[in-house]
Amino acid sequence: MRAGERKRELIYATAMELFRTKGFEDTTMRGIAERAGISLGSAYHYYASKAAIVFDYYSRLQAEHEAHVESLYDEAMEVEARLVAVTKLKLELARPDRKLLIEVATALVRPGDKLSAFSEENTDIRNRSIDVFARAIEAVPLTEEQRHAFASLIWVAHLGIFLYFVHDESHEQARTFALVEDAARLLTPLLFLATTTMAAPVAEAAFAAIAKAGLLPKS
């Protein structure tokens, strides 16, 4: 590892430590620099912005997810179970830094933001993330176009789940994990509907699940 890389790594580690203990807003670039023993200007040489550090984290999270997801698929799992497993894995990897996802989620959603989920800069990481979901549903006999469309939809849904996750103050985010299971149970049949024309009466179950999740605003 070259000296430059080592310093970048030091900044990253220092920033993450502070983010974890003090949160994103209360961690200043000056604080990071000071703790890392370098100047403010130097820190900005390695990271163009405070948010860029968070996106480095996000990129690493995605890489870690890809690395671990392979081992999940050894057994012959059903599609629904695969979707649940792959989503839970990502949540578990992210849990120690859940608060940071607030920054990721808001930036992802913000048009024009360089770090937006839909920006050019993030095409690569987004596509890798979508690919993971595409592989999770590879057992469903779809055209490549359909598979990509569904994987993209699942990716959007997983952004929504992240949003739910960062709001979720239940013990160990149990509600989010339950929501993942319910969502997979309800939505997986829809994947197969694209291959048959058979329909299922999912509405009542959907209603129950929504109520169970305590979904969103109470009056």
Partner DNA sequence: GTCTATAACATGATAGAC
Partner DNA sequence: GTCTATCATGTTATAGAC
- Whole-angstrom distance, CA of residue 143 vs CA of residue 148: 9
Query: What is each CA distance from 68 to 18, 65, 135, 194, 202, in whole angstroms?
Result: 26, 5, 14, 30, 33
Is residue 112 classed as helix, strand or coil in its secondary structure?
Answer: coil
In whole angstroms, what is the distance from residue 58 CA to residue 94 CA?
9
Does residue 52 bind a copy of itself (CB under 8 A)?
no
25 SS3 class: coil
By the rule CB under 8 A, 211 interacts with a copy of itself: yes
Among 43-51, 61-69, 178-186, 210-218, which window interacts with a copy of itself (CB under 8 A)? 210-218
Of 16 and 104, CB closest to a copy of itself: 104
* Amino acid at residue number 20: R
Q: Hey, CA dihedral for 126, 132, 136, 141, is it positive or negative?
A: positive
Q: How far is the CB of 133 from a copy of itself (least distance, A)?
A: 12
- Closest approach of Cβ 169 to a copy of itself, in Å? 9
76 φ/ψ angles, rounded to the nearest 5 degrees: -85, 90
Contacts with DNA by CB under 7 A lie at 2-4, 7, 26-30, 38-42, 44-46, 48-51
- Choose the contact partner of 119 out of DNA, a copy of itself, none; CB within 5 to 8 A by kind: none
Does 48 help bind a copy of itself (rule: CB under 8 A)? no
72 binding partner (options a copy of itself, DNA, none; Cβ < 5 to 8 Å by kind): none
Q: Across the chain, where does the E strand assignment appear?
A: none
Return residues touching a copy of itself (CB under 8 A): 102, 105-106, 109-112, 117-118, 126-127, 130, 146, 148-149, 152-153, 155-156, 163, 166-167, 190, 193-194, 197-204, 206-207, 210-211, 215-217, 219
